A and B are shown apart, each in its own frame.
Chain A
Amino acid sequence: MAARARCPECGSGSLVEDAHYAQQQLVCAACGCVLSEGLLTTTYTDEEHLREVAYSQSTGQKEQLSRCLQRGIRRVQDLCKVLQLPAVFEDTAVSYFQRALQLPAFHLVSLEKKELLGGCCVFVACRQHRWPLTMGTVCSLLYARQELFASVFLSLQRELGLSVPALSLADLVTTHLNSFRLVQPTASVPVPFLEDKEQLLARTMAIVELASETWLVTGRHPVPVVTAAAFLAWQSLRPGPRLCCPLARFCRLAGVDLPPPAHLRLRELLEILLGMASQLSWLRGFRLDKRTVVKHIGDLLQHRLLLLKRAFSQQDGQGQQDTAPGQGSGQAPPSSPAVAQRQGCPWAGKQQRGGSLRPLLPPCLIHPRKRPRPAAPSAPAVALTGDEPISDSEIEQYLRSPEEIRAFRKAKAW
């Protein structure tokens, strides 16, 4: 509508825009003459010019992200919701995912790998915020193979240059025991099997620390160690009705999976405990086995530092044991009870038993399964340079004779 400079009725120049029932009108302020009226309805063409918020700017923001990225972000968010992670973890994981997907290493990989990439971002975010989440948990949620998850995780770590802190064993123990169903009475758990959560946690933590001091944790998957330690802690807190319960039944009652190496870790822990029990003075008269030693775990853990020193030889091993009795009798001053105790009684006691102290080493060194590596070949009499002449006779052994070739051809191997 073109605004008129003057009112046609009175010639006044004071014209105002007024809205009457949402209809724009140009009215003369002097005489009230309506010079022009707006349209009550607008056409699409008019709206196109009057829009304040463009469609693409309002709901179209997500259209700027590719479909793959949107799906991946949604998957990361769903994973964070299932794991009940705080919002900051989700933001971190989403930012890692967006950064990773822009890199050539992840842009053209398969959909399966992109889904694992989202899981890896969540896993890395949890580890950076000290949230104990294991790879096994993430793989089970994504129905993924652990080998593929591992390769994507290592690639993500390398490409983005992320620093991923180590998994804290103490946090893992706390989280793992939180999922146990032995702390509340249920229909499937007998009353003698119920246990107080705090006591179970404290004892399990002590057994896990003992395991880490005795080389049972280094280089091993942490969950089987924690499971075996929790089982021993649970049995030791009330041995009477619980000694007859095997590890598999314990895991079923607790509602957790039984990892296959847990039996081996349990056996190793019991071996360590039996070694320590042999040094506890009030247990020396008893013949303990792997069932009865469980009753004394509390005492063993209370004195574990001293018992470990007495029961196992440290790094110097056998040499120290052979020389110690001789030195102890000649040189140890009688006023030093600690020295006498260390060099006198334990060695004498051990010598009476007729055995030497077991060295405190990783179990794979004590019970080697592999054949020993063959000795390094001696240096050849004539050092190779790589450019020696090659005779035809040496090459003939790698070629088939014509008769053999005819026989293979006849057999039509391909």
Chain B
Amino acid sequence: MDADSDVALDILITNVVCVFRTRCHLNLRKIALEGANVIYKRDVGKVLMKLRKPRITATIWSSGKVICTGATSEEEAKFGARRLARSLQKLGFQVIFTDFKVVNVLAVCNMPFEIRLPEFTTNNRPHASYEPELHPAVCYRIKSLRATLQIFSTGSITVTG
């Protein structure tokens, strides 16, 4: 790859994880009975509810904590979380949409070149950690940004944080 070449890199956000609280106790059995697109996991005490638009999956606990995953942007995540809160309101719970927070964003990027991971790890210690027996990618941590990058030999990079 030449230094002068102007290659645009596409960074694609594939997942946004957010949490919010309903400030009320939720009857999981009632949600499982009266809600559609719901999976009730009685053994672990949670309910999974899937929305079509936006395409997100919500994990609901009886304490009122809800985790939403699957959105492709922070705005979409908030919209989906509000839709879910509204659905719970319709089911009869006194839901108050509070403490909304985006906790994790996962993005993928492809480099136009391959990367020799052992040499990369040697040149980037202590940030880079490479254990081929465990995972085929180098784990590169940026403490200041609280981000973790998974760097594969094909040039694909997954950013989490």
Chains A and B come from one and the same complex: yes
Quote the shortest CB–CB distance from A118 to chain B (angstroms).
Answer: 19
CA distance A11 to B35 in the complex (A): 111
Q: Which residues of B contact A (CB under 8 A)?
A: 1, 10, 12, 29, 32-37, 40, 42, 49, 51-53, 72-79, 82-83, 86-87, 90-91, 108, 113-114, 116-118, 121-122, 125-126, 129-134, 136-137, 152-154
4 tightest Cβ-Cβ pairs between the two chains A and B: A386-B78, A219-B136, A384-B75, A386-B75
**What sequence of 0s and 1s flags, for each residue 380-398 of chain A, a beta carbon within 8 Å of any chain B beta carbon?**
0001111110101011111
Q: B36 and A218: CB pair below 8 A?
A: no
Chain A residue nearest to B91 (CB atoms) is A399
In the bound complex, residues from chain B placing their C-beta under 8 Å from that of A362 are 114, 153-154
State whether A215 touches B79 (Cβ < 8 A).
Answer: no
Contact in complex: A399, B133 (CB < 8 Å): no
Which residues of chain B have C-beta atoms less than 8 A from A221's C-beta? 132-133
With both beta carbons as reference points, the residue of chain B lying nearest to A223 in the complex is identified as B133
> Is the pair A219, B132 in contact by a Cβ cutoff of 8 Å?
yes
B5 CB → nearest A CB, Å: 12
**A218-B116, A218-B153, A361-B114 known; A387 and B78 CB under 8 Å?**
yes
A219 to chain B, nearest CB (A): 4
A397 touches B52 (CB 8 A): yes
Closest residue of chain A to B152 (Cβ to Cβ) is: A219
CA distance A81 to B29 in the complex (A): 56
Q: Which residue of B lies closest to A364 (CB)?
A: B154
Say how far A190's CB is from chain B's closest CB, in angstroms: 34
In the assembled complex, 27 residue pairs joining A and B whose CB atoms fall closer than 8 Å, in A order, are: A136-B133, A150-B131, A150-B134, A215-B153, A218-B118, A219-B132, A220-B136, A221-B133, A361-B114, A362-B114, A377-B72, A384-B79, A386-B77, A386-B79, A390-B82, A390-B83, A394-B53, A395-B83, A395-B87, A396-B90, A398-B35, A399-B34, A399-B87, A399-B90, A400-B33, A405-B34, A414-B29
User: What 0/1 readout, one digit per residue, does chain A (228-246) give for beta carbons within 8 Å of chain B?
Assistant: 0000000000000000000
Question: A376 contacts B12, CB within 8 Å?
Answer: yes
Which one of B10, B35, B52, B121 lies within 8 Å of A166 (CB-CB)? Answer: B121
What 0/1 readout, one digit per residue, does chain A (356-380) give for beta carbons within 8 Å of chain B?
Answer: 0000011011000000010011000
How far is it, in angstroms, between the C-alpha of A377 and the C-alpha of B10 when the chains are bound? Answer: 12
Closest B residue to A219 by CB, please name it: B136
Chain A residues with Cβ below 8 Å from B53 are: 394
Q: Which of A373, A386, A396 has the most CB of B within 10 A?
A: A386
Q: Which residues of B contact A20 (CB under 8 A)?
A: none
| Residue from B40, B129, B132 in contact with A222 in the complex, judged by beta carbons closer than 8 Å | B132
B133, A218: Cβ atoms closer than 8 Å: no
A367 to chain B, nearest CB (A): 12
CB distance from B73 to the nearest CB of A (A): 7
